Amino acid sequence: MLVQEFEQQGLSLFRWRSYWPLVGLALALWIVWLRPNPYPWLVWPALILGLLGLFIRIITVGFTPKNTSGRNTAEGQVAESINTQGMYSMVRHPLYLGNFLMWLAPAVLTGHLWFILVFCLAFWLYYERIMFAEEQFLQRKFGKPYQDWGSQRPAFIPKKLMWQRPTLQFSWKKSVKKEKNGLAALLLVLAGILYVEQVGIRRQLFWPELDFWTLSALASTLLYLVLKLIKKYTHWLDEEGR
C-alpha cells in the first residue's frame, strides 16, 4: 500500500534530514565556482531569507513545552501532547518552513534560477514524506483532536494569519539551547559561497579577506562554540518542562 510505503520512506528520510542539504550546498559551491553569481547584490536578500527562517525556528521552539508534536528518535516518535499555539496555530510544520528558508538562502545566492527551482522541488519531494510520516503518527495517537486542528491549518505555507497567543512564556534558554548553531551555519555557508565564487573568478586559491562576511562567520562560530561549552558543562540553559 502506498500509505505504508510513504510512511516508511518518511521515517527513513528523517534520519538523514541533516545531511541531504550538504549535497545541495556542494552543488551550489560547484556552480558559483564554474559560473560566478551574475547578481552579487543577491547576498542581502539571501541573508534576509536565512534570518527569517532562523527567526521562525526560534519563535517555534521558544514557545513549545517539552515533547510536543511528532519527533523521530532512536526509540521512535515522541509526542505527549499536541502543540497548537504560536507558529503551530498558523502551519502544521513551522520548523520545516524555517529549514526551507534557511536553505533557500544559499540557493538564491548562486544567482541561477534553474538551481533555485531544482532546490525547491527537491525539498518538497524530500520533506513531503517526512511530514506525511509524522502526521500519520500523530493521527493515530491523538485522533479527532489532531484531525480537527490539522484540517484548519496548512501543512507548510501560511495562507492567512491565524496566530494564537501561546499560554507559555517565550523561553530564550530553550531557543538558545536548540538553535545555537543556526546563525553560525547560515553565515558560514554564505561566506563560503562568496569565497568559492572569488576563487572561481581569480582561478586560484587565496587567503580569505577579513571583510564583513568573513568576520561575521568567525564571530558567529565563536559564539556557537561558547554556547556549546555552556550547554555541556553547565545547567544555565536548562529549564523545567522545556
More confident residue, 58 or 4: 58
Domain boundaries, the chain: 2-171
The whole-angstrom distance between residue 171's C-alpha and the CA centroid of its chain comes to: 19
Q: Is the Cβ–Cβ distance between 131 and 156 less than 8 Å?
A: yes
Backbone angles phi, psi at 68, to 5 degrees: -120, 150
Q: Is the pLDDT of residue 61 over 50?
A: yes
Cell numbers given for 210: 577579513
Residue 70 confidence class, pLDDT cut points 50, 70, 90:
very low
- Residue 68's DSSP bridge partners are 81
- Residue 72's DSSP bridge partners are 77
Cell numbers given for 134: 509524522
Q: What is the C-alpha separation between 227 and 37, in angstroms, rounded? A: 34
Q: Is the pLDDT of residue 98 over 80?
A: yes
- Residue 236's DSSP bridge partners are none
**Model's pTM, two decimal places?**
0.91
- Summarised one tens digit per residue, pLDDT across range 162-187 is 788 898 899 999 999 999 999 999 99
Q: What is the C-alpha separation between 158 and 88, in angstroms, rounded? A: 10
Q: What percent of the chain has pLDDT over 70?
A: 93
Q: What is the C-alpha separation between 214 and 209, in angstroms, rounded? A: 7
- Summarised one tens digit per residue, pLDDT across range 209-240 is 889 999 999 999 999 999 999 999 999 999 88
What's the chain's average pLDDT? 88
Q: Which residues contact 113 (CB under 8 A, 6 or more apart)?
A: none
Residue 69 confidence class, pLDDT cut points 50, 70, 90:
very low
Mean pLDDT lowest among 58-62, 117-121, 161-165, 175-179: 161-165
